Structure 1
Amino acid sequence: MINISTPAEGDDFFDREEDIKHIKELLQNGNNVLLLSPRKFGKSSILRRISLESSEIIYIDLQTVRTFEGFFSYWLYYAGTKGIIKKITEKFSDIKEVLERIEKFSISVEGASVELLPRIKNWQDWTDRLVKELDKIENVVIIFDEFPDMIENFIDNYTKKEVRDFLRWFSGITEKYPKICYIICGSVCLDFVVRELKFPRAFMNFKRYELEMMSSEKAAELFEKKLVEAGLKPTAEATKRMLDIVDPIPWFILLLAYDIYSNRAHLSEQRVKKGDIDRAYRNILGYREFNYYLHRLEKYSREHYDVGKKLLYELSKDECLSSEELWGPYQYVTDGGNEDSFFHLLADLENDFYIKYDEERGGYRFYSKVLRDWWGKLFR
């Protein structure tokens, strides 16, 4: 079966060895890493892969964390699952019962939050103690996946001042105990969240690393590999057509392969031809998984949500538009508009990987062809 819903693990993991190498080099040089890429580029797959290499590397998925106490609970829980807590249990004798529960029971992540929260008071003090002890262990790496999502959850539950105080405290922790390295990533743009909180100094001690699209050769290899594993026979013209219309992004390639496999009854002798690629492409543009891109825009202000949809629709009709050409539609929707707000919106759309500035053409275009086609179909 072709997996399109969960991070790639085991034999499903493909390519990205060079990215893993570069990230590990940054860590070995004592850097914290801010991993950047659009959604479904394989960030979580890469980070999970890295976390398997050592018991000192802790992978923590923060997407559902909504409270400061929950942040510590997850940190404690995941550290316990990797066994690191066993090395420092004597330092936490006053929460020995909680640690024993982690060791004895294979509780769910949600269960960790529910079970541990009532027992944890003064979460900042507890986290400081935990990090202080982890700092004494060599080569500890803490991976916080979906960190920006957690911060947005905090914004919904706390005042902005309280969330700024959290970020200020967290930044202090990363500087106070420099032996621990951190990797932060997420599908939501951290720059957007930080600017909303008016806290630009956050994460200045992190090195940015951006994942790029796959090479065309690797994209073709992945596409053919998945179809062959599913018992299908892609023709050379089918692979070429795939490369013509789909960006070399793992998830888009897997979606196309998944749809072809799901509709294999239409194939002649299990052979995948050029026409099958076009049919599958039309199908995937109707997949509900793409609705994320619309829901993400709903996080913007009401005005930016409305005008953002308009600008993206205009871009879906043209391959590239300059800021001057986009300024007109912006003014129309906002009844005059504000130039600073306009450029903030363009920056947010770019940071969230909807669009990208094309230096050669001097204008903005969609980050991916697939997203452009989907947006155009949605609002046409």
Structure 2
Amino acid sequence: MAKVKLKQAQGNVVTGDRFWDREKDIELLTKRIDECAHVLLVAQRRMGKTSLMAEVYQRLSERYICLFVDLQKAASGSDAIVELSLAVQLHKPLWNKTKEVFANIIEAVTEKVEKVGVGELGVTLRAGLTAGNWAGKGDQLFAILAGSERPVLLMLDEVPVMINRMLKGHDYRITEERREQVDEFMSWLRKNSIKHQGKIRIIISGSIGLEPVLRQAGLSATINNFVPFELKPWDEGTAVGCLVALVPDQHVKVFHNQQNAFSFTICKVHKLSQSPLPQPVLILFFIQLSI
């Protein structure tokens, strides 16, 4: 039987022929999406949450208008609306309507807005959004998405990082003002997720858990309409299969003694950590065994 090969990838996100397994996860997540559920993607760090979303994005892009929004640098509701607007820019019919929402803000560049770089446009939008108008503009933006011909799959990555930053600031202190700002944003997101359910599906993900962050501020209820979706670590067979597929030599195999050592190492580290073993650690141990 021909050996299954996996292309090696540079960087953190993998898709297509660089994406390994997770077929059951993709099938179940797609089912949730098709059922109009809003999803809270839960997993340890380095478990492949962003790659899973990117792969689902590619596979569902013919049935859904897929929008991927990275909020790891966002620090306010205004920042989130800007990032969402820039994601919409990739879909011209929706972007033409979105420009009308921000007409007063981008009036100075309206004639050349299609030629304006994403960075410059982002700066322009940020300059015009305030604490007093971002929610209203965001409501209009959600209404535009809900009116699209195809349903929208909105993937919000690193929401917990954004919320943690908003809640604690640079001095890592939770204040009443910061709590109110987080409450306003999460309540706004909840309101729109309920109002447009069936037309817009939202996936929230991040490198840290969102619920524990919100719990610190007593705001866990703002995500009670999101269905938790746990992304678990690979089992041993999947991990070994991935590593074998990464070996370029068609004749290289994992011998029985190597597999036993590999299994023993997994077991030993698992006992030390008392938690599922992250995938990158498995790769490091396999490399050591193969030398």
Same fold at TM > 0.5: yes
User: Aligned pair in 2 of structure 1 residues 239, 27: CA closer, same or farther (>3 Å)?
Assistant: same
Map of 2:4 onto structure 1? none
Map of 2:54 onto structure 1? 48
**Is residue 131 of structure 2 the alignment partner of residue 125 of structure 1?**
no
Map of 1:142 onto structure 2? 154
Q: State the distance in 2 between where 1:101 and 1:36 align.
A: 42
Map of 2:36 onto structure 1? 30
User: Aligned pair in 2 of structure 1 residues 87, 4: CA closer, same or farther (>3 Å)?
Assistant: same
Q: State the distance in 2 between where 1:51 and 1:101 align.
A: 30
Q: Partner amino acid for 2:186? A: L
Map of 1:57 onto structure 2? 66
User: Aligned pair in 2 of structure 1 residues 107, 224: CA closer, same or farther (>3 Å)?
Assistant: same
**Is residue 78 of structure 2 the alignment partner of residue 69 of structure 1?**
yes
CA RMSD of aligned residues (A): 2.8
Map of 1:92 onto structure 2? 101
Name which one, 1 or 2, has greater alpha-carbon Rg.
Answer: 1
Show structure 2 runs of 5+ residues with no match: 1-6, 170-176, 267-275
Q: State the distance in 2 between where 1:144 and 1:135 align.
A: 16
> Which residue of 184, 203, 207 maps to 2:204?
184
For residues 265-304 of structure 1, the aligned pairs below 5 Å read 273=290, 276=291
- What is the SS of the residue equivalent to 1:198? coil
- What is the SS of the residue equivalent to 2:139? helix
Q: State the distance in 1 between where 2:110 and 2:231 align.
A: 37
For residues 277-356 of structure 1, the aligned pairs below 5 Å read none
User: Aligned pair in 2 of structure 1 residues 253, 196: CA closer, same or farther (>3 Å)?
Assistant: same
Q: State the distance in 1 between where 2:285 and 2:116 align.
A: 40
**Structure with the higher fraction of residues in helix conformation:** 1
User: Aligned pair in 2 of structure 1 residues 89, 230: CA closer, same or farther (>3 Å)?
Assistant: farther
Shift of 1:116: 2.4
Please give the per-residue CA displacement for 1:33-84, whole angstroms capped at 9, x wherever unaligned.
1111101111000101112231601111111111221110000001112446
Indicate if the aligned counterparts of 1:4 and 1:254 stay in contact, CA closer than 8 A: no
> Which residue of 203, 221, 237 maps to 1:201?
221
> Which residue of 8, 21, 25 maps to 2:14?
8
Q: Partner amino acid for 2:201? A: C
- What is the SS of the residue equivalent to 1:30? coil
> Which residue of 216, 236, 245 maps to 1:216?
236
Please give the per-residue CA displacement for 1:11-41, whole angstroms capped at 9, x wherever unaligned.
2211112111111111111110111110111
**Is residue 167 of structure 2 the alignment partner of residue 155 of structure 1?**
yes
Shift of 1:113: 4.1
Q: State the distance in 2 between where 1:77 and 1:188 align.
A: 24
Identity of aligned residues (%): 23
- What is the SS of the residue equivalent to 2:95? helix
Map of 1:114 onto structure 2? 123
Q: State the distance in 1 between where 2:93 and 2:264 align.
A: 48
Q: Partner amino acid for 2:155? A: I
- Greater relative contact order (Cα 8 A, min sep 6): structure 1 or 2? 2
- What is the SS of the residue equivalent to 2:13? coil
Shift of 1:215: 2.6
- What is the SS of the residue equivalent to 2:47? coil
Q: Partner amino acid for 1:77? A: L
Q: State the distance in 1 between where 2:265 and 2:164 align.
A: 34
Scaled by the length of structure 1, what TM-score is found?
0.61
Indicate if the aligned counterparts of 1:59 and 1:145 stay in contact, CA closer than 8 A: yes
Show structure 1 runs of 5+ residues with no match: 261-271, 277-380
Map of 1:254 onto structure 2? 283
Shift of 1:102: 6.5
Indicate if the aligned counterparts of 2:40 and 2:227 stay in contact, CA closer than 8 A: yes
Q: Partner amino acid for 1:149? A: V
Please give the per-residue CA displacement for 1:218-271, whole angstroms capped at 9, x wherever unaligned.
111111112x137894541324322332366432233445x65xxxxxxxxxxx
Scaled by the length of structure 2, what TM-score is found?
0.78
**Is residue 188 of structure 2 the alignment partner of residue 169 of structure 1?**
yes
User: Aligned pair in 2 of structure 1 residues 89, 167: CA closer, same or farther (>3 Å)?
Assistant: closer
